[in-house]
Chain A
Amino acid sequence: MTGLLQQPGYEEERLQRVSELLPCREVQAGMLLSLMGEPQQYCYPSIFMFGHRSSGKSHVINVLLKELELPHATVSCVECVSATLLFDKVLLSFFGSDAASLLPRSPSLSDFVRIFRQHSSQFPAKQTRYIIMEKAELLRDAEANLLPALLRLQELVEDNVTVILLSEIVWDTFRPNTGCFEPLLLYFPDYSKGELQQILSKDRHPSYSAEFYYSYINILLGVFYSVCRDLRELRHLAALNFPKFCEPVEAGKVKETDAHKLWKNIEPHLKKAMQTVYLREVSSVQWEQMQQMEEDETGAMRGLSAHTHVELPYYSKFLLIAAYLASYNPARTDKRFFVKHHGKIKKTNFLKKNEKTSNHLLGPKPFPLDRLLAIFYSVVDSRVAPTASIFSQISSLVTLQLLVKVSHDDQLDAPKYKCAVSLDFISAISRTVNFDIVKYLYDFL
């Protein structure tokens, strides 16, 4: 289906404007519009629209309702932390502030429906009223009766009202266990590569030709398409990296049509962008600054994750090392590593391991406090007394989230811990105290 949206009951030029505003979404918009029907006709009580992030769900519905001037209330479930805010917003946008002020201090659903009914009998709907719930997956965490009630709101308030739920998650996970009114499901498919190209090349720079920008988008998608299909993210990346792309053209080195040279110039740059700005290691402002500083190699600036160095006291470092060893080594190997005269241990037996049991794959194991202290005394050279300061350092490591307390909070004797730092972090720490941690790790034997 191409071209204009068609639906009786709406003005032609408005429909035309709508279809211009919704590139690559004609089919979905048309389907939605035909479901909505003429403004005064009844629409299905609830519609559930789902699809991936930035596949145009809220854009399509908002453009439709705004351009066609239908009465609607758009509610984001993230904002509405309590149902009160939701009720307030819906009443406000349908009946004005005097209706919203009728709500009692902590209104129940019953109050909302009563006030809604009261007002809709005074001003009966000439056109279908739409309530749009964005991020509807959060409704599952709200009170148990909110979602089922919203789904059959048309029946409850006896008015021409339709609730449209938007979500990224499929309907199957929404269904309450005693069932509910089943909404109509409407799937918004993802944009194909061609459609992404088409949409992204719409916001081209006016001073360059359309083909030039199109080829830039092509290169950008070549790098990022296998990782990211989020239109919003791609648009952001396209806007950020465009100055770098046209740099050689501005300098007069390369002509606009020389695609190969342009590609050679931008490709490593985009690859770097994937490691930095895509992961928000570097903020986009920093990225722009870096592009301007030519002598500064891109990415030389340290990102967020490079700041992993933490200054710790001497004993804390050893406590953390001991915790790491206790977490990642099985307890049966402690004797082999930390006791001087450990006797004979059969090497074949000792080294029998398969991949699944590798602890760096499975993650840290919990260990009791005694084991931590035993390993700590064995790795620390000097004699350390178990003073209060040692124990307070352990608990402050827990508050720094370098250690995690596994057992219940109120357990004083034999609490269990887990080490929550990465291998890079712990090797950096052990280098500062001249301790070779890899030698003591079972996985790397």
Chain B
Amino acid sequence: MSKRKVKNVHLPIGECIAQVQQILRERFCQRQLPERPEGVEAQHKHLEELLKRTAIHGESNSVLIVGPRGAGKTTLLRCVLRELSKEQEVQKNLLLVHLNGLLQTDDRIALKEITRQLHLENVVGDKVFGSFAENLAFLLDALKKGDRSSSRPVLFVLDEFDLFAHHKNQTLLYNLLDVSQSAQAPVAVVGITCRLDVLELLEKRVKSRFSHRQIHLLSSLTFPQYLDRVQAQLSLPDDVPDSNFAQEWNASVKTLCEDKAVEEVLQRHFNSSKDFRSLHALLMPCLSRVSVAKPTIKPADLLDASRLCFADTKASMLHGLSILELCLIIAMKHLNDVYKGEPFNLQMVHNEFKKFLQRKSNSMYNFDQPVIMKAFEHLQQLELIRPVDGSSAKTQREYQLMRLMLDQSQIMEALQKYPQCPTDVKQWAISAFA
């Protein structure tokens, strides 16, 4: 469709494309914050107010940001922090501590990290502390003494908050929340999590110290809004050097989003998930195809990308199996049909396969038992079949009970696509359960 004519460019087209790639890639990898997070104005305002109160008035607070993965929790927090840091007073005062539940897997590591991020290593030095709380109290004391006039507020950001709840006795959470409730040092604890039931994970004493303030980031997008979002994600900002090119690019994005086929693809994607991250995963392959020879995103690119996204990976793995392995899978499928999903072993599968060979009276697939065993083991390696119980050493290999990890439609679909599938095998698969 949109044939873009290259004329009146100030920069060579190669550089323009490079710029597009640069800008959009950074956006998709979430390196670049949006101007203002969209659709979450209320939450944004709430969080900003709260953090401002801590930063300026020295009020202690705790809050949880809850939302599904890819809903923009971290982005929201980063936007708020960016705006806060613009204020001089806050910039001078506020101390930030970032912790991540994936990295700080126990309280000892977390405490070390806090010490490091508050630049207190030289103060703690070689002092030995009795308890964890003592250590933490010392840290906060040190904060108070560090500034002559008054104590500086500390903002603790706990990413993957639910993982901190799995620490022993939840000591870190208890102490942080306890400080936020009682001690004088102003502390704000911001937890980010994707679990809605995160409060159920907390111990009673921890839970009682938490302020029960939650900010939910549940997407309430409608499809037209989603379309706008896609367009906004792909458009270039106004401040690129070559504004001419930017306008043309944005126009081409606009026509792309109005295309019927594209809309259908996006609708399908929208129905499966509304978050931005899966959108980025969809748009990234499209973007990567943009080159000097093809300076716009075509609807076909999006179609291809969504086909890749929605492809059944297991069915495509079946495509690469050898005929023998495919026959074994068909035999397993028959066993599943006949015995209603009871687990099977290699002997039964081989027996079923032999029955097929007898009917066919063709010796083409007459393989020895060891060859069949090798094929069977390959299937197990690919995790297309899985042992029922983990103890593999206890029984002989041919008698180990297995379960098929595929369903019927996947097998049939793979058979349809299989290159040069022998007709009798196909027939066997279909005739099956009579």
Contacts and interface: CB of A to CB of B under 8 A. Distances in A.
Interface of A: 6-9, 31, 34-35, 37-38, 41-45, 50-52, 55, 108-110, 113-114, 143, 145, 148-149, 152, 154-156, 168-173, 178-182, 184-185, 187, 189-190, 192-193, 225-229, 274-275, 278-279, 281, 305, 355-356, 360-364, 404, 406, 418, 420, 422
Contacts of A154: 29
Interface stretch (B34-42, B120-128, B320-328): B320-328
B285 A148 contact: no
Report the interface size class on chain B: 35 or more
A361 B281 contact: no
A363 B395 CA distance: 9
Interface string B238-274: 0000000000000000000000000000000000000
B314 A170 contact: yes
A360 B25 CA distance: 60
Given A227-B367, A281-B370, A361-B351, 15 more contacts: A35-B285, A43-B29, A52-B317, A110-B109, A149-B102, A156-B103, A170-B383, A178-B162, A178-B195, A185-B313, A227-B322, A278-B371, A279-B374, A363-B396, A404-B394
30 contacts: A9-B18, A35-B284, A41-B22, A44-B281, A45-B29, A50-B317, A52-B317, A55-B320, A108-B103, A108-B105, A110-B109, A110-B112, A145-B101, A154-B29, A169-B382, A169-B383, A170-B313, A181-B69, A187-B313, A190-B319, A226-B365, A275-B370, A275-B371, A279-B370, A305-B370, A360-B347, A363-B399, A404-B395, A420-B395, A422-B396
A169 B382 CA distance: 6
A374 B18 CA distance: 84
Nearest to B100: A156
Contact of A6 (B14, B69, B291, B365): B291
Contacts of A190: 319-320
B84 to A, nearest CB: 19
Nearest to B30: A155
Interface string B345-386: 101100100000000000011011011001100000111000
B178 interface: no
Contacts of B277: 181-182
A154 B277 CA distance: 14
A111 to B, nearest CB: 8
Q: Is the interface of B mostly helix, strand, loop or mixed?
A: helix
B194 interface: yes
3 A-B pairs with the lowest CB-CB distances in the bound complex, closest first: A363-B399, A190-B320, A34-B288
| Binding site secondary structure of chain A | loop
Contacts of A181: 69, 277
A31 B308 CA distance: 12
A182 B289 CA distance: 21
B130 interface: no
A355 B338 CA distance: 12
A434 B257 CA distance: 84
A84 B337 CA distance: 47
A225 B322 contact: yes
A50 B101 CA distance: 29
Nearest to A6: B291
A303 to B, nearest CB: 10
A50 B313 contact: yes
A361 B350 CA distance: 10
